[in-house]
Amino acid sequence: MNFTDNIPDDALVIRNILRGNINSFEILLDRYQDHVSRIVRNHVPRDEAPEVAHDTFVRAYQSLGGFKGTGPFKHWLAKIAIRCCHDFWRGYYQNQENLAGPLPDDCRDWVDHLLADQSAERDAERVEARDLLQWALGQLSASERTVLTLTHLNEYSAAEAAELLDWSVIRVKVQSHRARKKLRKILSKILPQGIA
């Protein structure tokens, strides 16, 4: 007997949910909570991630009727998660109070320290590095931020990012290139005087 026979596949679970057995959705939650968690953790602030993951599953449930089953459910869910993250940033940037303020002094000190010695690996673990990255990303648009996070920080290929964002590959390449150039320009402004 095959052990996996007792584990219903995604298609079967989805069919059950669509028939009205809402409790079957817990199976999908079990299976994909970590997957969604990893995606949203990489895209939105940590304190917002559970809320965005929650929205992802709610939206997935609402849209379940449109899942055709032509590709894995995991990819379909990832697409929804990315869109939820993108929507999060769109809403975030619409609130003027959330726009990036001045760079914290700690981050500036971290840059000086980093450029002064070779301990990049150790420095990379510091909170200031993450704060600096968030500060710089905060000056990009929601789309630029999302595409750059996918392609540059998470190393998705242009084709994969295009699939997730429902964009063309060309658009992903162009936006990603522009966003990275913009990010480097932002970072270059915080370099100490005399260093180019």
Partner 1 sequence: MKSSKKPLDKIEAALIAAYRKQEELQFPPDWRQQVMQDISSMAGPTAFPQEKKVRTMIPRRIGALAAVAVAAVVGWLILANLDRYDPWITLKPDLADLESHAAFWLEAGDVDSGLRHVKVTVIQKEMKIEVLSRNLEPPGGIWHTTGDAVKKVDFPLALDAQALGLQEGQATLVITARDLSWRNWFRGRSTTMKKEMVIYYKKSP
Q: Which residues bind partner 1 (CB under 8 A)?
A: 17-18, 20, 22-23, 25-26, 29, 33, 37-38, 40-42, 46, 49-50, 53-54, 57-59, 61-67, 76, 111, 114-115, 118, 120-121, 123-126, 129-130, 132-133, 136, 152-153, 166, 184, 187-188, 191, 195-196
Q: Which is nearer to partner 1, 77 or 158 (CB)?
A: 77
CB of 124 to partner 1, least distance (A): 4
Q: What residue has token string 């658009």?
A: 171
- Residue 103 falls in which region: left (phi positive, over 0), alpha (psi -120 to 50) or beta: beta
Least CB distance to partner 1 at residue 169 (A): 14
Q: Which is nearer to partner 1, 29 or 169 (CB)?
A: 29
Per 3-state DSSP, what percentage of the chain is helix, strand, and coil (rounded to 5)?
A: 75, 0, 25
* Amino acid code (one letter) for 143: S
Nearer to partner 1, 68 or 97 (CB): 68
With vertex at residue 155, the alpha carbon angle to CA 126 and CA 110, rounded to the nearest 5 degrees, is 20
The full length of the chain comes to: 196
